[in-house]
Amino acid sequence: MLASLPTSPRVAQSVYDCGREGHHPRITRPKVLLVVGHPTIGAALEALLRIEDRYEVRRAQSLEQVTSSLDGWVADLALVDGVLVQRGRTEVLPMPTIVLSGNPRDGRRLSGHFVRGQGWLRKDATAEEIRVAIDRALVPAARRWSVLVVMALLVLVVIVIVIARYLLQV
């Protein structure tokens, strides 16, 4: 099925095909695990994530399948269909998890069922929305804080400059 999809016009050549050896062991793509019960929907999401060659994608059809057979493959993030989340049970997956849901209320509620829940995403999200959500979930918390610290320092510097300028004019 994936062979019949057209190549994305934005991706002329994969970074893995460049260079002398054609392999760059230091460049790794984030590993995304799709946990979707419906085979057609799972295949569509998988194709959507593979189009730009940004992610290494695998698929499971149940949460039990995730914990039982990954053959040593550890995902950086899991996208889990909210339909598969059982009521009253906290799921313990070894990776951060984004829940796919039909509405915000259910999405927030279901995301709370995961120990490492990173929020929710609409089931009918666009490719860009999925990419942004995945990238945001994969950014370490320390890096997010560093951006806030830099912004706070810039505001503080501007305030100090304004006060110093005021004092020099008086």
| CATH classification at residue 57 | 3.40.50.2300
Best CA proximity match to 56, nearest among 17, 18, 29: 29
| Residue indicated by tokens 């995961």 | 114
pTM score above 0.75: no
| Structural domain that includes position 19 | 2-139
Residues 134 and 146 in one domain: no
Q: Total structural domains in the chain?
A: 2
Residues 123 and 48 in one domain: yes
Give the Cα separation of 128 and 17 in Å (integer).
24
Span 18-73, pLDDT tens digits: 544 444 445 678 889 889 988 888 888 888 888 878 888 888 888 877 766 667 77
- Average of per-residue pLDDT across 77-101: 83
Residues 99 and 33 in one domain: yes
Max CA pair span of the chain: 74
Beta bridge pairs of residue 59: 34
Of 44-58, 69-83, 104-118, 151-165, least confident by mean pLDDT is: 69-83
Residues 113 and 166 in one domain: no
Residues 42 and 125 in one domain: yes
For residue 23, what pLDDT is reported? 46
For residue 2, what pLDDT is reported? 45
For residue 12, what pLDDT is reported? 45
Residues 13 and 83 in one domain: yes
88 phi-psi bin (left φ>0, alpha ψ -120 to 50, beta other) = left
Strands 31-35 and 56-60: parallel
Residues 91 and 81 in one domain: yes
Residues 75 and 49 in one domain: yes
For residue 164, what pLDDT is reported? 93
